[in-house]
Amino acid sequence: MTDGTEAAGTGGRRAAARLLLVLALLAGLGAGLGLGIGLRTDLTGFLPAGRSPAAAFLLDELRRGTATTLLLAGIEGAPEAELARLSRETAAGLRASGRFALVGDGTTTLSDSERDLLFRYRYLLSPETRPAAFTAEALRAKLQALLDGLRSAASPLLARFGFADPTGAFLGLAREFLADARPETRDGAWFARGAEPPRALLLARIAGAGGMDAAAQGAAIAAFRAAFAAAHPGPARLLLSGPGVFASEAAVAIRGDVELISLASGLLLAGFLWWRFRSLWLLGLVAVPLGAATIAGFAVAALASGGPPHGISFGFGMTMLGVAVDYPLLLLGLRRPGEALGATARRIWPVLRLAAASAALGLAAMLGSGLPGLVQLGLFAGSGLLVAAAVTRWGLPHLLPTGLRIEARPLPGWIAAGLAGLRGRPRLAAGAIGLAALLLAALGGPSWQRDIAALSPVPAAAQALDAELRRQIGAPDVRVLIALGPGTEEAVLRASERLEAALRPLLGPGGALDGLDLPSRWLPSAATQHARAASLPAPGAAEAALREAMRGLPFRAQAFDPFLAGLAESRDLPVLTAARLGAEAPVLAARLSPLLSGEGNAVRGIGLAQGVRDPAALARAVAGLGDPQILLVDIKAETEGLLAAYARATLLWALAGGGAVLLLLGLGLGGARPALRVAAPIGGALLVTLAALAVLGKGLTLFQLASLLLLAGLAIDYALFLARPGGQAAPDAAARDAPSSGAVLNCAVATLLTFGMLSFCETPVLRGIGVTVSVGVASAFLLALAMAPARMSGRADG
């Protein structure tokens, strides 16, 4: 290696100034893009558009549905009385923060205004409102029950509401709206039934934040933790879960992974290059195509998506460190003695151009997948590779002083001997590929990961805690839901009522499902409210029935005048709407809002089927309605079908891309035979990688399929430059003697250092890519070397 002395003098200083200026411009441009555009970290940015009505509805709910605003909490690690105090004070702090539409902790009550609204509309909201409930016989039974209640501990409550509502409609509605689910209420707090040690439970719904509003969700989660800390918990600990917590933790994990990749990959790569070349010039030169590639990929992805690229795309793009560094390393490693760098660039350009174009063409399969995440990955990686190749060809020769040579240090003897011994051993390569094929066949071939949860960065322990808290609180663990609408609020509520009537026979211990939660349970349609008002008895009939019912009972004659006045008022009440409920009764609206959202003609509803024991019976009942506004959504089946459909599309595009790459290689290399010779180690590396993943028990995801496409691009570099290192139309003796093995080894190690870091990421998508490409890069280099032409001389590569 020579450095410094040849670069001394005015020319060297001018070249150094040019290089520093270019690096500064790239750094400034990159910082401007990063600060001005930023990154997305919510996983919804990677979700596709649904290919069926059910899938479209499901994905829309994942993006912005109110189900994503639910927070579940447990408090444990203290005596029961202390847990109850912490629960009450934490809940009070949550309500005072104004960030939550509903807080459930065992002390939830209606405000005076909400109670008054519910009381006024008791007969329009109660499903018990029908003519039979106001006959003298029915009223007689209610009055007798009221009389018994007034002699019991419930006397104060009944004395307050019983004379104005002897039918009990209001108290029934209040119990329904404020009903505890599965927790036990002790000392004014919810406790998990049978939990030992004891665990207090809370439930909260974030106000005004859908699945896309990561900032609002993060602020609400911080407010929750602050409310708990303000209660002076001592040794007690807070367990917090829910979609918002998952989204927040995912954002933190993705940001942490991006920072890890950027810093650790850069340091490892710089350390390796310094060990091999001992040249600051080299570090500066390789940073130029690397920086240009990253900026180009970021800009193209941002332009195509119309906003910030996703953090996973950026993380994947940053792994182009190893790929983009290939090109300057090959340029410098394949430079002949006494050859100007510009001449080297011109000589190897046909092969470099073919390698870059083939890799970018292979990545184009991601663009045809239709999956937003893969499209971003393909744009980021493909545009970056092309820009890195162009900068290497036309930019780097102008940044290096004319007399400066940068050469790699000699490889350790055992490495050089190993490379020389492996080169030109096609039978060994064929044996390794055949063994991988047999192993893959014995294991049943590659398996596909169809579970969308496999893409989540949330640890398994956190997912288990969420399931446990849902079971203890009684929050729905939704596996099956029924989509209602879209349409007007009235149309959706009427559809909900038709659905309830159709599924009522399936409810109960011996039925197809345990429970059903529908928007019409909390807010009847206008038609139903009008019908209930019309079913109320006229004043004269009501008075006569009441007088008959009171005969012989010790009530004053005018005791139930408020009841008669309430009946008369209810007949003329305006219809109660979701908008009015939300404005005047937030606690009541919190029951409805997860099930009914939207406005105008875009209102959507959700029906939650709980404890489904017979999915086929449920499906038949829904299908029997023949209603286009009612759609059964099996979440597991839809997500599996969605991923399978996009996997098939991506695979087909990958096969098409592979065919296009073979055609390009055939045109560039002068025939099918040399193209197949270059493609052989690429196919072999893919086969070995699939076999290794099968042995590790790793199912293929869409993003691992994408990483296989990138692996194919890397393998093209290795196969081309080991077979035709000098860029000649056919490899001659000088080319075979060129130090190609060492140059390509530098590229492979640089790539392993960057992709290897992905294997340590918390985000499963990035970790899967790291494992896949790390295995693939190693096998691609070794197979390409074994299939490369045998050397003409015994000189070891340096």
**CA gyration radius for the chain?**
35
State pLDDT tens for residues 639-661: 777 777 777 777 777 777 778 77
Per-residue pLDDT, 734: 37
State pLDDT tens for residues 475-529: 665 677 888 988 999 999 999 999 999 999 998 777 888 888 899 999 999 999 9
Residue 293 has pLDDT above 60, yes or no: yes
Q: Which of 45-59, 88-102, 731-745 has the highest mean pLDDT?
A: 88-102
Q: Binning pLDDT at 50, 70 and 90, where does residue 46 land?
A: low
Residue 439 has pLDDT above 60, yes or no: yes
Instruction: Please state, in angstroms and rounded to a whole number, the distance separating the CA atoms of residues 327 and 385.
Output: 9
Name the more confident of 48 and 255.
Answer: 255
Mean per-residue pLDDT for 230-253? 84
Mean per-residue pLDDT for 756-774? 79
- HSE at residue 745, side-chain half, CA atoms within 13 A, is 24
Residue 564 has pLDDT above 90, yes or no: yes
Per-residue pLDDT, 48: 62
Answer yes or no: are the C-beta atoms of 315 and 261 closer than 8 Å: yes
Per-residue pLDDT, 431: 94
Cis peptide upstream of residue 486 (ω within 30 degrees of 0): yes
> Three-state DSSP class for 633?
strand
Per-residue pLDDT, 735: 40
Per-residue pLDDT, 408: 82
State pLDDT tens for residues 771-786: 888 898 899 899 999 9
Per-residue pLDDT, 721: 84
Range in 42-46, 107-111, 206-210, 553-557 with the lowest mean pLDDT: 42-46
Per-residue pLDDT, 796: 39
Per-residue pLDDT, 797: 43
Q: Which of 86-100, 394-408, 714-728 has the highest mean pLDDT?
A: 86-100
Per-residue pLDDT, 195: 80
Answer yes or no: are the C-beta atoms of 786 and 425 closer than 8 Å: yes
Mean per-residue pLDDT for 286-310? 87
> How many other CB atoms sit within 10 Å of the CB of residue 209?
23
Its pTM surpasses 0.85: no
Per-residue pLDDT, 343: 92
Per-residue pLDDT, 7: 46
Per-residue pLDDT, 548: 93
Share of the chain above pLDDT 90, in %: 26
406 phi/psi in degrees, rounded to 5: -115, 115
Residue 317 has pLDDT above 80, yes or no: no
Per-residue pLDDT, 736: 42
Instruction: Please state, in angstroms and rounded to a whole number, the distance separating the CA atoms of residues 685 and 717.
Output: 13
Per-residue pLDDT, 728: 45
